[in-house]
Structure 1
């Protein structure tokens, strides 16, 4: 599935949040009536829900799967002048689930999506039965240099087309283990090419507030927790997973996936799906 097909699946699905008609676009598949605990996938920066293109559909035969675009990302609202921090995304997630009439969930979060999932699971433990974190931000592990560079006013919006393509090829084409799938690289670039998208990316980057994970008491997380981690990630190294395993209140299992960098979902898709399915089953 390429990013245009993914967007087509989102076109008739949105939830408004924040009391100001901010649109949250989302992917929805599986049986909406047959499973009262859907699996919700949360992406990071600078990605969008398309990150889950080969994972969420693979689980749709057995679960309802939901993959929202965080506010300011993908096809969700990206107008200027609103908070895009993970604390704000946590509030978005709460409103998003309420808008769909969803109570208990399984959360699967990557990168800052993992930070959002951790906050939600710590603050509303009764709503999160299972938690999966993959190369997630935690403690003071973030923001990383690449994201910091994007947060400088004008850093993205003033890039030439060649500079933009080079920067995102560095992040996605060169950032995977082995040869990159062109559909993945193109899909990750697509939302940021417009003028509004570039400004939104700068705002998303500057909103990466370390305090929102250093303030978190991970012992309040009671969900069954899986730390499904790309073992060769230098941005969110596996040592943070080991620390989380000690601190999460309900305990956590670590599964390290070799031959995988930060984009573990892309690097080891089949193995990732198998490990996720084993955990949920």
Structure 2
């Protein structure tokens, strides 16, 4: 009995030790090193000056082809590290922005987030870099942005790649609306354990390794920052954007060659906790959504990766990169 009491007394210290292993990060990640040099583009958005962080990697064997990598909602440009290495090895110039509100970019106190604004900012970056033509690749939320960019700037986007994009279904049709304050309250509760639990359950089928851990720690690192509430508020505004600005109704208008890379185990969908179990089962079925989307987008090709979840380029890199490179070289 004494031993049990002693162990119970020590448990809070064990938890504290585990939490202490997570590196504390400021909200602009100034104390986190990206895999390649980071530059900043100053933007004038909505009556304020903001800084957009980006990586621009041109290999020595540059083949005069470019590709822009657009990150997802819970990530930033750093998680493309392995993809950047593989693409530059093949001669591609790779541009990787952190959108406003993400990663090393500015976190405004107030901002009206739209995919159109993100797309316009990305176009300004490409103009700044002198890039007239490029492939646009988007993962998760980045897939919604990549679609919007392609529709807004068809003269710039020469190919489109969508890696497990969200927004392949309209959640507004089945999920009750929640305002920004509701999303904000949820974001304030984020910590390492919550992030790990969510990612393990929704991304990796209950599995966990050092690669997965790395990106969970990056997300968790700034939850203890004194001004984390600014990050949480920006995140809540982005949920509003994602929920209310679907792009799937315009897939038919995409004119350029498109590649869909879909991990079929993925079940990602916004608002699942807000619906009944019966409705929940119908949401985020990527094994079906990938096929449906391929039929909706003219001149598109579908590559399915069985038993892989929301992040093929993290969970199963070889199965992601091989069809991507083939498509880029066609």
Shorter chain as denominator, the TM-score bin is 0.7 to 0.9
| Alignment TM-score, normalising by the size of structure 2 | 0.73
Match for residue 203 of structure 1? 237
Alignment counterpart, residue 230 of structure 1, candidates 246, 253, 263: 263
Alignment counterpart, residue 215 of structure 2, candidates 161, 166, 184: 184
Correspondences of 1:88-103 after superposition (within 5 Å): 88-103=117-132
User: 2: CA distance between counterparts of 1:8 and 1:121?
Assistant: 26
Q: State which drifts further: 177-186 or 129-138.
A: 177-186
User: 2: CA distance between counterparts of 1:32 and 1:191?
Assistant: 36
User: 2: CA distance between counterparts of 1:264 and 1:41?
Assistant: 14
Match for residue 14 of structure 1? 40
- Cα-Cα RMSD: 2.8
Q: State which drifts further: 222-231 or 264-273.
A: 264-273
CA distance 1:32–1:109, shift in 2 (3 Å): farther
Q: How many angstroms does 1:141 deviate by?
A: 4.3
Q: How many angstroms does 1:59 deviate by?
A: 0.9
Q: How many angstroms does 1:121 deviate by?
A: 1.2
* 1:138–1:240 contact (8 Å) kept in structure 2: no
Q: How many angstroms does 1:35 deviate by?
A: 4.7
Deviations 1:104-160 (A, max 9, x none): 110110111101111111222221111110111235345898xx7995233223x3x
* 2:158–2:256 contact (8 Å) kept in structure 1: yes
Alignment counterpart, residue 56 of structure 2, candidates 4, 17, 28: 28
Extract unaligned runs of 5+ from structure 2: 1-22, 24-28, 269-283
Match for residue 131 of structure 1? 160
- Displaced runs of 4 or more, over 4 A: 141-145, 148-151
CA distance 1:99–1:238, shift in 2 (3 Å): farther
Alignment counterpart, residue 198 of structure 2, candidates 145, 167, 171: 171
User: 1: CA distance between counterparts of 2:88 and 2:324?
Assistant: 13
* 2:35–2:81 contact (8 Å) kept in structure 1: no
User: 2: CA distance between counterparts of 1:263 and 1:139?
Assistant: 16
User: 2: CA distance between counterparts of 1:68 and 1:120?
Assistant: 14
User: 2: CA distance between counterparts of 1:33 and 1:101?
Assistant: 19
CA distance 1:271–1:75, shift in 2 (3 Å): same
User: 1: CA distance between counterparts of 2:326 and 2:128?
Assistant: 30
Based on CA coordinates, which of the two structures has the bigger radius of gyration? 2
CA distance 1:191–1:277, shift in 2 (3 Å): farther
CA distance 1:220–1:262, shift in 2 (3 Å): same
Q: How many angstroms does 1:224 deviate by?
A: 1.2
User: 2: CA distance between counterparts of 1:149 and 1:116?
Assistant: 22
CA distance 1:103–1:190, shift in 2 (3 Å): farther
Confirm whether residue 43 of structure 1 aligns to residue 71 of structure 2. Answer: yes
| Alignment TM-score, normalising by the size of structure 1 | 0.85
Match for residue 106 of structure 1? 135
